[in-house]
Amino acid sequence: MVRFIVRRLLLSIVTLFIILLVVFALTRVFPSDPAKQLAGPFASEERVAQLTESLGLDDPLPTQFFRLVRDVVTLDFGESFSQPGVRVIDLVRPALWNSAKLVFLALMITLPLSIVGGIVAARKKDTIIDRSIVSFGLASASIPDFVSGVLLQFIIGVQLGWLPSISNAPADAGFFGQLEYILLPALAILFVYFGYIARITRAGAVTALDSDYARTAYMKGMSTSEVVRKHVLKNALQPTVAVTGTQMGYLFGGLVGLERVFNYPGLGNLILRAALAPDFPLLQTSVVAVAVIFMIATLTSDLIIAWMNPRARLDVGEN
């Protein structure tokens, strides 16, 4: 097990390095010159040159890259180009926290509903209930998040007025007050994932319900719900955990459209603004943050699966 974790960590470092290289390369090909943007349109050429030098942009590329790697390793992410004097970490932290809140709420809603939906569909296989759940899941899956977001905002936020249509909680809103403001985008995320998770849960549950183990349990007199709890759930949960792990990157950094619809200052929004400014340190740091989250999430989900399913432990490390 330890060897597995160590190996994964080493692989993650390699992957992070590659990502850093790719992002660095992209930023250095950017058409806009951050020094010029920062200096403003009336600036003299000397000022622009001065800024270029102080931002370290006129050093040879390998030097700049080395500096970037060193900064990331020492966790000193530098200062933002577009907000002079503001440390990048002070910009990323609140955005990260906001995204975390939204993801937390979304998962709290999505996972139970989808898993239950999948198990119900499996138990009522081939009935109308099964077909409805599967069809609904099919229909809502991969509808772009901002599209569901806009529809929800209109129907629930504006027409019915049940929830606030913009996610700008006032500063003094308590915990539940804040939840109210991000419930609509969380529902949009539910629509994106419900179908997929319900279907893989269903598939896993179908297999499990049909398995020898389950049949033996029935013969021994266990009720279906007991079988579900003891056997099916574990098997059905594994793929869900796996999927959730791999989707963390998207949930933290990929909800750019959804965040825009609800005016929510999450990480995706921050990355978009950093790309448009362009603000290289901010962009590099936030992209790395997304990658790190992804890595932690997949490692965690693999470990959870290994814990849940001893048999999987054998091929853990294979992936």
| Window 244 to 303, contacts with other proteins (CB under 8 A) | 246-247, 249-250, 253-254, 256-257, 260-261, 263, 265, 268, 270-273, 275-279, 283, 287, 290-291, 294-295, 298
Comparison of 111 and 275: residue with beta carbon closer to other proteins: 275
Please write down the HEC assignment for all residues of the chain: CHHHHHHHHHHHHHHHHHHHHHHHHHHHCCCCCHHHHHHCCCCCHHHHHHHHHHCCCCCCHHHHHHHHHHHHHCCCCCECCCCCCCEHHHHHHHHHHHHHHHHHHHHHHHHHHHHHHHHHHHHCCCCHHHHHHHHHHHHHCCCCHHHHHHHHHHHHHHHCCCCCCCCCCCCCCCHHHHHHHHHHHHHHHHHHHHHHHHHHHHHHHHHHHHCHHHHHHHHCCCCHHHHHHHHHHHHHHHHHHHHHHHHHHHHHHCCHHHHHHCCCCCHHHHHHHHHHCCCHHHHHHHHHHHHHHHHHHHHHHHHHHHHHCHHHHHHCCCC
- Per CB under 8 A, contacts with other proteins among 124-153 are 135, 138-139, 141-148, 150-151, 153
Comparison of 5 and 43: residue with beta carbon closer to other proteins: 43
CA-CA distances (angstroms) from residue 138 to 132, 153, 186, 188, 193?
Answer: 10, 22, 19, 15, 10
The tokens describing 163, both together, are: 């929830």
123 binds other proteins (CB under 8 A): no
Give the residues across from 79 on adjacent strands. Answer: 87
Q: Shortest approach of other proteins to residue 270 CB, angstroms?
A: 7
Q: Shortest approach of other proteins to residue 195 CB, angstroms?
A: 8
Comparison of 19 and 303: residue with beta carbon closer to other proteins: 19
Which of 37, 178, 211, 300 touches other proteins by CB under 8 A?
37
Comparison of 143 and 222: residue with beta carbon closer to other proteins: 143
The Cα–Cα gap between 197 and 191 comes to 11
Comparison of 220 and 319: residue with beta carbon closer to other proteins: 319
Q: Shortest approach of other proteins to residue 124 CB, angstroms?
A: 18
Query: Count of residues for the chain?
Result: 319
The Cα–Cα gap between 233 and 119 comes to 8
What is the per-residue binding string for other proteins in 172-191, x denoting contact by CB under 8 A?
--------------------
Which of 6, 15, 53, 234 touches other proteins by CB under 8 A?
15
Size of the site for other proteins (CB under 8 A): 91
Q: Shortest approach of other proteins to residue 159 CB, angstroms?
A: 8
Comparison of 169 and 179: residue with beta carbon closer to other proteins: 169
Q: Shortest approach of other proteins to residue 4 CB, angstroms?
A: 16
Q: Shortest approach of other proteins to residue 169 CB, angstroms?
A: 10
Stretch that binds other proteins, among 18-26, 120-128, 176-184, 310-318 (CB under 8 A): 18-26
Comparison of 105 and 192: residue with beta carbon closer to other proteins: 192
**Count of Cβ atoms closer than 10 Å to residue 58 Cβ:** 11
Q: Shortest approach of other proteins to residue 223 CB, angstroms?
A: 26
Which of 19, 88, 182, 214 touches other proteins by CB under 8 A?
19
Comparison of 209 and 295: residue with beta carbon closer to other proteins: 295
Which of 62, 170, 221, 310 touches other proteins by CB under 8 A?
170
